[in-house]
């Protein structure tokens, strides 16, 4: 007589397997244990989700048996199971898919013996029991101390609303330190948008928390090798790791003693997963803290969450206005004297400048002055390559990608045309492929061209020591290869660069000490974008970029941010001049409210991909029709919009279409989608949609 278990496995998408499968086991197992089970002809990793009293609908002989139990590994907690269940349900995916994706991939290949070896190896690095060293802690400013005090007293999610340079990281570290000292088991999860851009942070954390013993600080992100990732995950799961620094994937890690979650730069779009379960790690962090607190009797022992940003997402800002989140204000830069102090913002009206100038003369002049004073400037443009398009003016040919609805970008360095969406690359043709005209020309500007022009315009200028001016470019192209980005950043930090040219990559998080001027070359395309979040993102980008200027107190009075625009009167620039995020947010929330956009409504997208746009849209229309015919629950409060091509309609020869689903009520939207999901699965299996490649729901999409 065996035991019956509900076990979740990573079933292929749309396989029809949405819930757990029933298996038989000779021994009694607990929920959360990892097992190996047969699935079809394969043997796969599974998680025991629950125990059954009988075989359910299975007849004798139909049941399959658990093959192996990964003993020695503590069971995943009930809270973790609840988090996975919520994520699957909310983002409309199967529990098995979400659960298995949250586990390190290497775990799938290990049997009980292999795992036992890993665990033994991990346990052999001992924990030092000594208390943490108190040395090397900067003194807290008054506003930092106050933020910490308020955070200590609240059980609500908190937003640390701190200007760039106000010392947010130190507040995170102090909150973590206090907790880890007070509670010898507690774990802290610290999330950052992209770990590769801030390699200093990991080192800083290891130094700061060295007193916790070796292995107490681990990183968890997709840049790790499978073996490293397994090691970090095991350390987190067994409680050996006390502080976990991770990217969005870390929010689903097993952290049995989690008591504090920090989400740095909470507004960053990279917290939203863009495939599989399209979860928002920021939103899940808030939910997870709530979940971890719900189950403990001792209110003080629950899990708290701190979101941090100088330019919060409007969702988070609205939650503060409504009192759901507690706002902790830190308006002052460290070392600054007045409220809201930041670099002076100069908005340059490009319609008054000579036509075609990439950099207006007054800006060039300002940069030249900095160079001769031995100060650094940062100039950024959000488009890499030399020019976004190559065109023939004789016949109108353009460097269209044959596989995507996008142009291939001209890269002068290696004279190539590259599609930034599918990667398709070809050498630049000698003449126009259509008419043979040899005079094909670049249209528009990218960072490569910007670098070339800046170097050209400053070629006669000398640095204070008489040597020539040095211009350095940092973008995804120039920073390719292991260690290249770090080497380039080190060059800037060491003062070996006068003008740093780059994409928004250089505006994030770097603590450049000698930059006193920051310039945005062409931010206009985001002002009137069809993407409703574009202004919010632009404002965050410009504020963040402004924060790169004058980080050293001696420079803060002379630091400047320049913005070149054809729309100098735009209210966004007005708010930027005043460093007034609150004012910007108020205006933007007002227009979102009148347009019925998030956070005042809740949205999801149904996306479909096929060889033809027609088929993709047909599926969406049939899906809407089926929803109307079957009168699904919640449907009366949900609005379905017409099927349209996605903004990037064709990608790598695949046609993409989407349909917006919107509701003023989140529960109604959730109810509707849960009922719709099986209808969609059934519909896509029909003969008419045999050639449909993929469909998926995206809940709370980044853009609609």
Q: Give dist(CA 584, CA 582) in Å, integer.
A: 5
Tell which one of 421, 508, 567, 621 touches Zn ion (CB under 5 A). 421
Work out whether 394 is an interface residue with Zn ion (CB under 5 A).
yes
Instruction: Using the rule CB under 5 A, give the single segment among 33-41, 161-169, 414-422, 491-499 that binds Zn ion.
Output: 414-422
CB 545 within 8 A of CB 507: yes
Q: Between residues 406 and 520, which has the closer beta carbon with respect to Zn ion?
A: 406
The pairing of beta strand 440-443 with beta strand 389-392: antiparallel
- Taking the complex as a whole, how short is the minimal distance between the CB of residue 478 and Zn ion, in angstroms? 21
Instruction: List residues bridging with 36 in a β-sheet.
Output: 45, 68
Q: Between residues 446 and 598, which has the closer beta carbon with respect to Zn ion?
A: 446
With CA atoms as reference, report the closest residue to 692 among 90, 89, 13. Answer: 13
Paired tokens of 472 = 């350095």
Q: Between residues 397 and 641, which has the closer beta carbon with respect to Zn ion?
A: 397
Paired tokens of 469 = 């001016």
Work out whether 648 is an interface residue with Zn ion (CB under 5 A).
no
- Taking the complex as a whole, how short is the minimal distance between the CB of residue 529 and Zn ion, in angstroms? 21
Q: Give dist(CA 389, CA 359) in Å, integer.
A: 20
- Taking the complex as a whole, how short is the minimal distance between the CB of residue 74 and Zn ion, in angstroms? 47
The pairing of beta strand 64-65 with beta strand 21-25: parallel
- Taking the complex as a whole, how short is the minimal distance between the CB of residue 409 and Zn ion, in angstroms? 10
Q: Between residues 260 and 390, which has the closer beta carbon with respect to Zn ion?
A: 390
The torsion angles phi and psi of 623, rounded to 5 degrees, stand at -65, -40
Tell which one of 434, 531, 614, 636 touches Zn ion (CB under 5 A). 434
Q: Between residues 395 and 664, which has the closer beta carbon with respect to Zn ion?
A: 395
Q: Between residues 149 and 414, which has the closer beta carbon with respect to Zn ion?
A: 414
Helices (H), 494-643: 534-546, 571-577, 581-595, 613-630
- Taking the complex as a whole, how short is the minimal distance between the CB of residue 406 and Zn ion, in angstroms? 6
CA atoms within 13 A on the CB side of 352: 8
- Taking the complex as a whole, how short is the minimal distance between the CB of residue 410 and Zn ion, in angstroms? 14
Match 């609303």 to its residue by tokens.
161
With CA atoms as reference, report the closest residue to 131 among 178, 81, 187. Answer: 178
- Taking the complex as a whole, how short is the minimal distance between the CB of residue 437 and Zn ion, in angstroms? 4
Q: Between residues 171 and 422, which has the closer beta carbon with respect to Zn ion?
A: 422
Tell which one of 76, 250, 432, 479 touches Zn ion (CB under 5 A). 432
Q: Between residues 333 and 650, which has the closer beta carbon with respect to Zn ion?
A: 650
Tell which one of 253, 401, 485, 605 touches Zn ion (CB under 5 A). 401
Tell which one of 128, 395, 628, 688 touches Zn ion (CB under 5 A). 395
- Taking the complex as a whole, how short is the minimal distance between the CB of residue 404 and Zn ion, in angstroms? 3
What's the gap between Cα 501 and its chain centre? 23
Q: Between residues 437 and 649, which has the closer beta carbon with respect to Zn ion?
A: 437
Helix/strand/coil for 299: helix
Q: Between residues 679 and 693, which has the closer beta carbon with respect to Zn ion?
A: 693
Instruction: Using the rule CB under 5 A, give the single segment among 37-45, 374-382, 418-426, 524-532 that binds Zn ion.
Output: 418-426
Instruction: Using the rule CB under 5 A, give the single segment among 71-79, 234-242, 355-363, 422-430 that binds Zn ion.
Output: 422-430
Q: Between residues 394 and 660, which has the closer beta carbon with respect to Zn ion?
A: 394
Work out whether 409 is an interface residue with Zn ion (CB under 5 A).
no
Instruction: Using the rule CB under 5 A, give the single segment among 280-288, 412-420, 569-577, 666-674 that binds Zn ion.
Output: 412-420
CB 559 within 8 A of CB 177: no
Work out whether 272 is an interface residue with Zn ion (CB under 5 A).
no
Q: Between residues 166 and 399, which has the closer beta carbon with respect to Zn ion?
A: 399
Paired tokens of 193 = 């948008």
Residues 155-214 binding Zn ion (CB under 5 A) are none
- Taking the complex as a whole, how short is the minimal distance between the CB of residue 704 and Zn ion, in angstroms? 23
- Taking the complex as a whole, how short is the minimal distance between the CB of residue 274 and Zn ion, in angstroms? 17
With CA atoms as reference, report the closest residue to 250 among 206, 181, 192. Answer: 192
Tell which one of 422, 604, 669, 680 touches Zn ion (CB under 5 A). 422
CB 499 within 8 A of CB 407: no
Q: Give dist(CA 405, CA 571) in Å, integer.
A: 33
Q: Between residues 409 and 572, which has the closer beta carbon with respect to Zn ion?
A: 409
- Taking the complex as a whole, how short is the minimal distance between the CB of residue 441 and Zn ion, in angstroms? 11
Tell which one of 437, 491, 529, 703 touches Zn ion (CB under 5 A). 437
Work out whether 397 is an interface residue with Zn ion (CB under 5 A).
yes
Kindly write down the DSSP assignment for every residue of 132-179, as one continuous string: PP--S-PPPPHHHHHHHHHHHT--S-EEEEE-TTS-HHHHHHHHHHHH
Q: Give the count of residues interacting with Zn ion (CB under 5 A).
A: 15
Helix/strand/coil for 572: helix
CB 66 within 8 A of CB 43: no
Q: Give dist(CA 150, CA 169) in Å, integer.
A: 16
Work out whether 419 is an interface residue with Zn ion (CB under 5 A).
yes
For the purposes of burial, counting CB atoms within 10 Å of the CB of 218, is it exposed (0-12), middle (13-18) or buried (19 or more)?
Answer: buried
Over the range 393-421, which residues count as b (16 or more CB within 10 Å of their CB) and which as e?
A: eeeebebebebbbbbbbbbeeeebbbbbb
Tell which one of 160, 404, 472, 576 touches Zn ion (CB under 5 A). 404
Q: Give dist(CA 395, CA 252) in Å, integer.
A: 54
Tell which one of 64, 398, 403, 470 touches Zn ion (CB under 5 A). 403
Q: Between residues 396 and 667, which has the closer beta carbon with respect to Zn ion?
A: 396
CB 5 within 8 A of CB 50: yes
Work out whether 435 is an interface residue with Zn ion (CB under 5 A).
yes
Paired tokens of 71 = 């003993």
CB 664 within 8 A of CB 638: no
Q: Give dist(CA 172, CA 615) in Å, integer.
A: 50
Instruction: Using the rule CB under 5 A, give the single segment among 355-363, 389-397, 582-590, 604-612 that binds Zn ion.
Output: 389-397
Paired tokens of 573 = 């620039």
Instruction: Using the rule CB under 5 A, give the single segment among 292-300, 341-349, 373-381, 397-405 that binds Zn ion.
Output: 397-405
Work out whether 392 is an interface residue with Zn ion (CB under 5 A).
yes
Q: Between residues 404 and 450, which has the closer beta carbon with respect to Zn ion?
A: 404
CB 97 within 8 A of CB 276: yes
Work out whether 417 is an interface residue with Zn ion (CB under 5 A).
no
- Residues near Zn ion, by CB under 5 A: 392, 394-395, 397, 401, 403-404, 419, 421-422, 424, 432, 434-435, 437
């Amino acid at each position: 007589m065996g035991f019956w278990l509900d076990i979740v496995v990573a079933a292929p998408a749309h396989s029809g397997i949405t819930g757990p499968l029933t298996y038989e086991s000779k021994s009694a197992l607990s929920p959360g244990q990892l097992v190996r089970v047969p699935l079809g002809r394969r043997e796969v990793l599974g998680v025991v989700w629950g125990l059954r009293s009988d075989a359910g609908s299975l007849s004798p002989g139909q049941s399959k048996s658990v093959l192996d139990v990964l003993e020695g590994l503590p069971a995943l907690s009930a809270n973790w199971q609840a988090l996975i269940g919520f994520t699957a349900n909310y983002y409309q995916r199967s529990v098995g898919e979400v659960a298995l994706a949250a586990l390190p991939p290497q775990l799938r290949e290990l049997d009980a013996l292999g795992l036992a070896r890993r665990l033994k190896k991990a346990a052999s690095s001992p924990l030092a029991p000594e208390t943490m060293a108190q040395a090397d802690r900067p003194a807290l400013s008054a506003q930092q101390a106050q933020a910490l005090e308020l955070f200590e007293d609240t059980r609500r999610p908190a937003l640390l609303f701190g200007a760039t340079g106000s010392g947010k990281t130190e507040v995170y570290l102090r909150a973590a330190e206090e907790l880890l000292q007070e509670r010898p088991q507690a774990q802290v999860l610290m999330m950052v948008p992209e770990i590769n851009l801030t390699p200093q942070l990991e080192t800083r954390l290891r130094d700061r928390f060295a007193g916790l013993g070796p292995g107490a600080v681990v990183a968890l992100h997709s840049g790790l090798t499978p073996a490293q990732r397994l090691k970090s995950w095991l350390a987190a799961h067994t409680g050996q790791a006390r502080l976990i620094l991770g990217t969005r994937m870390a929010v689903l890690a097993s952290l049995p003693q989690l008591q504090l979650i920090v989400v740095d730069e909470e507004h960053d779009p990279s917290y939203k997963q863009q495939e599989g379960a399209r979860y928002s790690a920021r939103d899940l962090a808030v939910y997870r803290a709530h979940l971890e607190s719900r189950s403990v009797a001792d209110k003080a022992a629950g899990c708290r969450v701190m979101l941090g940003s100088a330019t919060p997402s409007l969702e988070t800002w609205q939650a503060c206005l409504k009192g759901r989140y507690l706002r902790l204000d830190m308006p002052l830069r460290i070392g600054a004297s007045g409220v809201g102090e930041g670099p002076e913002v100069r908005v340059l009206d490009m319609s008054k400048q000579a036509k075609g100038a990439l950099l207006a003369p007054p800006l060039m002049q300002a940069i030249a002055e900095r160079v001769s004073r031995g100060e650094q400037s940062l100039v950024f443009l959000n488009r890499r390559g030399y020019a976004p398009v190559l065109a023939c003016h004789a016949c109108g040919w353009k460097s269209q990608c044959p596989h995507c609805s996008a142009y291939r970008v001209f890269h002068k360095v290696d004279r190539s045309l590259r599609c930034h969406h599918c990667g398709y690359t070809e050498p630049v043709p000698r003449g126009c492929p259509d008419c043979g005209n040899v005079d094909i020309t670049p249209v528009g500007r990218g960072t490569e061209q910007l670098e070339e022009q800046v170097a050209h315009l400053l070629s006669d200028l000398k640095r204070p020591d008489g040597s020539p001016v040095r211009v350095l470019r940092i973008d995804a192209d120039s920073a390719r290869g292991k260690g290249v980005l770090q080497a380039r950043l080190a060059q800037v930090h060491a003062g070996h660069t006068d003008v740093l040219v780059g994409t928004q990559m250089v505006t994030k998080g770097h603590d450049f000490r000698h930059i006193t001027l920051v310039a945005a070359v062409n931010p206009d395309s985001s002002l009137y974008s069809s993407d409703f979040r574009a202004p919010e993102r632009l404002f965050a980008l410009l504020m963040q970029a402004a924060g790169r200027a004058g980080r050293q107190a001696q420079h803060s009075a002379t630091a400047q941010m320049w913005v070149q625009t054809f729309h100098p009167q735009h209210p966004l620039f007005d708010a930027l001049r005043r460093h007034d995020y609150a004012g910007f947010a108020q205006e933007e929330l007002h227009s979102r409210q009148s347009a019925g956009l998030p956070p005042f409504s809740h949205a999801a997208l149904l996306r479909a991909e096929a060889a033809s746009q027609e088929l993709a849209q047909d599926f969406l229309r049939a899906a809407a029709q089926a929803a109307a015919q079957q009168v699904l629950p919640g449907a009366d409060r949900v609005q379905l919009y017409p099927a349209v091509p996605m903004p990037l309609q064709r990608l790598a020869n695949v046609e993409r279409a989407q349909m917006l689903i919107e509701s003023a009520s989140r529960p109604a939207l959730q109810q509707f989608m849960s009922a719709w999901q099986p209808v969609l699965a059934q519909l896509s299996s029909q003969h008419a949609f045999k050639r449909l490649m993929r469909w998926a729901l995206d809940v709370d999409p980044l853009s609609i």
